[in-house]
Chain A
Amino acid sequence: MSAVMITRKVRKWEKLPGKNTFCCDGRVMMARQKGVFYLTLFLITGTCALFFAFECPYLAVHLCPAIPVFAVLLFLFVMAMLLRTSFSDPGVLPRALPEEATFIEMEIEAANGNVPAGQRPPPRIRNVQINNQIVKLKYCYTCKIFRPPRASHCSICDNCVDRFDHHCPWVGNCVGKRNYRYFYLFTLSLSLLTIYIFTFDIVHVVMRSMNGGFLNTLKETPGTVLEVLVCFFTLWSVVGLTGFHTYLISLNQTTNEDIKGSWSGKNRGQNPYSHKNIIKNCCEVLCGPTYPSVLDRRGLLQEDTLISSSNPVPQTTKTTAPLIPNEHTPDDAKPSIAASAEKSPSPKEEHPAATKVPPLASPETDAETSIAKERAH
């Protein structure tokens, strides 16, 4: 019987935990459910296509040729912002590698002291003081980290996201620190586009009716009815949403904080992240520095596959990454986890049970090479 070890290079995104889908070899990152996102795309492009087909020729000739030009620019801007929001990393925090998770657990145990048997241990919370305000940092059992302030775990994407705002199904992604400004510009430009199309639809119908009559106009341009319907219903929701987010930005709050009432009611005026100045808050959120993704989706990893000739199914395992069992680990994998808690220099010391264990964190690359390794793009 012979065993063959094949080493191949994989991109890090292939081994990332969480429920995201990746496209274009890791360049695009979205949530799993994309149905509503396709609907958004269809509505926007469909309505604009009808506008360009039915209204624009008449308006360009009878009113001003700049009208379709501006509509095209606005449409392109809306699409750019939508795609940017949907395809970018919202600010996902990578899960703790096993050594870090163990270190944190030891710290927690040291802080808790001896818990009498039968008693539940106290909740894992760390208090930090930010601008004279006590903020509680919660421990995430899935990611095995203490969440930074304003971070939250998205259950749909199964990731902790920094400055988590909300998970938007219309955009097919979470909205967090990295893509909040694109999301806001998307809603703002979409409001403008909707108002623009709605206004010029009405103008077009009025102008044409003066010449030919109202019913004739509708017969000549049937698309107008559809556009007006879509725009009418979109207007209320999107303009409302833009107004809501403008309010949040001026106060430097997230939707998550607003829903939980963290800085409202009896805590009003105590938001430690606000600069107490509307202009400064807006500038920070919209024109602040663009944060890089810490996920390194397109970095390269070594993956060793053990293929034995008697067993045709390749058993894919990792060279490193000892795992810590939690409530999600299948029982048969627990002994294997204790075994693989050691970094074995020889990759042949792998075993079949490890393949059933989902990786709790992305595998660790060799410490010495991690600094020298450039992020391959």
Chain B
Amino acid sequence: MFIFFYLLYICLKLICIRVNSLCRPTAYRTSSNQLCSSKVFIQRDYSSGTICKFQTKFPSELESRIDEQQFEETIQTLNNLYAEAEKLGGKSYLEGCLASLTAYTIFLCMETHYEKVLKKIARYIKDQNEKIYAPRGLLLTDPIERGLRVVEITIFEDRSIGSGR
């Protein structure tokens, strides 16, 4: 008997949720004073080859939130940091040769150059979020969490009463 009512409750909840989610699948609907959010994805720029570089084109969804120049500066700095990580030069060749001589066991105790730069990038993104993006209701996600495919920017919108978008 109780199982029946429990399942009925679940079905009713499903129907309600389904009706509401049909309008904007990427938006989240809540029934209290919580934040709704949507996401914008900055894609990779492959014009210079397979190196990690993101497009600096300003998405229209952010027009009301942030300066175009500020956004471009953030993306350009990220691109420069990734270029530094993937740079082919004397230092990376030396690291590669030394590592191959030790059958790559040296990486058990040493961090690679790329990993060091990734930590730098994580700190930079955290810093940018704290100083610039969070006060404007935006959140940058580190591209490494998305497989270095996209820079995900979450746009938070404050809704005081739950209503459909």
- Tell me if B47 counts as interface (CB < 8 A to partner A): yes
9-residue interface stretch from B63-71, B73-81, B146-154 = B146-154
> Which partner residue on chain B sits nearest A93 by CB separation?
B147
The smallest C-beta distance from B112 to any residue of chain A, in angstroms, reads 5
A128 and B14 in contact, given A1-B2, A339-B21 (Cβ under 8 angstroms): no
- B46 A130 Cβ-Cβ under 8 A: yes
Residues A367 and B92 in contact in the complex (CB < 8 Å), given A130-B46, A273-B49, A291-B114:
no
Q: Find chain A residues with CB under 8 A from B13 CB.
A: 349
- Count contacts on B: residues with CB < 8 A to the other chain: 64
Complex Cα spacing A74 to B28, Å: 58
Report how far A81 CA is from B149 CA in the complex, Å.
Answer: 29
Binary CB contact string for chain B from 17 to 53 against chain A (1 if under 8 A, 0 otherwise): 1101110011011100010010111001011111000
Which residue numbers of A lie inside 8 Å of B, CB to CB? 1, 3, 76-77, 80-81, 84, 93-94, 96-100, 102-104, 128-131, 135, 137, 145, 148-150, 163, 181-182, 185, 272-273, 280, 283-284, 286-292, 294-296, 308, 310, 322, 324, 335-336, 338-345, 349, 351, 367-368, 370-372
- Are A182 and B142 CB-contacts (below 8 A) given A1-B3, A290-B112, A292-B114? no
Distance in Å from the Cβ of B125 to the closest Cβ of chain A? Answer: 7
Give every chain B residue within 8 A of A99 (Cβ-Cβ): 26, 39, 41, 152
Q: Which of B25, B125, B150, B154 has the most CB of A within 10 A?
A: B25
Main secondary structure of the interface of A (DSSP, over half): mixed
User: Could you tell me the distance in whole angstroms from the C-beta of A93 to the nearest C-beta in chain B?
Assistant: 5
Whether A103 contacts B118 in the complex (CB less than 8 A), given A273-B50, A283-B88, comes out as: no
Residue among B14, B18, B103, B105 having the largest count of chain A Cβ atoms under 10 Å: B103
- Other A-B pairs, 12, CB within 8 Å; known A104-B41, A148-B50: A77-B103, A80-B104, A94-B146, A149-B50, A286-B100, A288-B86, A289-B92, A290-B107, A294-B148, A339-B14, A342-B21, A371-B125
- Sorted from nearest, which 9 A-B pairs have the closest CB atoms? A287-B96, A80-B103, A94-B147, A294-B147, A1-B2, A128-B46, A287-B93, A339-B14, A341-B21
Give B contacts to A, CB under 8 Å: 2-3, 6, 10, 13-14, 17-18, 20-22, 25-26, 28-30, 34, 37, 39-41, 44, 46-50, 85-88, 92-93, 95-97, 99-100, 103-105, 107, 112-115, 118, 122, 125-126, 129, 139-142, 144-150, 152, 154
